[in-house]
Structure 1
Amino acid sequence: MVISMEYKLNLKKIREINSMSQKDFADILGIDRTVYNKYENEYELIPIKHLISLSNFFNFSLDYVLGIKDLNDNNLKYNRETDLKMIGARIQTWRKSNKLTQEKLAKELNTNKSVICNYEKGRNLIATPFLYQICKKYHVSADYLLGRIDKDPHK
């Protein structure tokens, strides 16, 4: 299943507002400009770790860059640490509160249960398209699930 995410325009907007080139953004991420260009144009999916890095650098919400929210909330204070165990616990708590089994969530995301298990155990950072699908379908904040904020603003 191909997912069209909405980060392309927001990444470009953030970059242009800050009068930066694609090379500048690539340098922040420690990647080649051609790789960043593929991310910004959505030829390749940008890994969530890069979105977190840019979000931290420019103090914007992941919900905004992913197109889950229309406006960035500059007044929020974001946690800049990426704690896989805490993220896994948040995903698991969220899943259970929505009465989803790992199997059902895996089926919705077109993956398998072991992938969900690895996220919940903090072994892997959730993949960008899976995070996006969860947030869009269930109206949950990406910033909340990733531990960048303590309260889900959608609740």
Structure 2
Amino acid sequence: MTYYERIRALREDSDLTQKDMANYLKIAQNTYSQYENGKRQIPLDILIEICRFFHVSSDYILGLSDRK
């Protein structure tokens, strides 16, 4: 599973929309959509905020570990 599949799954499992995540991250919804579609790399500061939000490690999101 790729990092963009993992952030999508985390969001969907939490019953959140892309707009919800974009608002939390203070970015445009289309920017967040590009992260989930693998069209744009996630900047480190955004990755950290996503990890904090979902209480998971960056290793999990990046696919280096299956342990959240």
TM-score using structure 2 length? 0.92
Aligned partners of 2:4 and 2:49: how far apart in 1? Answer: 16
Q: Which residue of 2 aligns with 1:75?
A: none
The within-5 A match list for 1:92-103 is: none
Point out where structure 1 has 5 or more consecutive residues left out of the alignment. 1-5, 73-155
TM-score using structure 1 length? 0.42
Answer 1 or 2: which has greater helix percent.
2
Matched AA of 1:57: F
Matched AA of 1:44: R
The within-5 A match list for 1:107-146 is: none
Matched AA of 2:3: Y
The within-5 A match list for 1:53-132 is: 53-72=49-68
Q: Which residue of 1 aligns with 2:47?
A: 51
Q: CA RMSD in A?
A: 0.8
Higher relative contact order (CA 8 A, sep 6+): 2
Matched AA of 2:61: V
Aligned partners of 1:15 and 1:57: how far apart in 2? Answer: 10
Q: Which residue of 1 aligns with 2:15?
A: 19
Q: Which residue of 2 aligns with 1:41?
A: 37
Structure 1 segments (4+ residues) deviating >2 Å: none
Give % identity.
37
Aligned partners of 2:14 and 2:57: how far apart in 1? Answer: 16
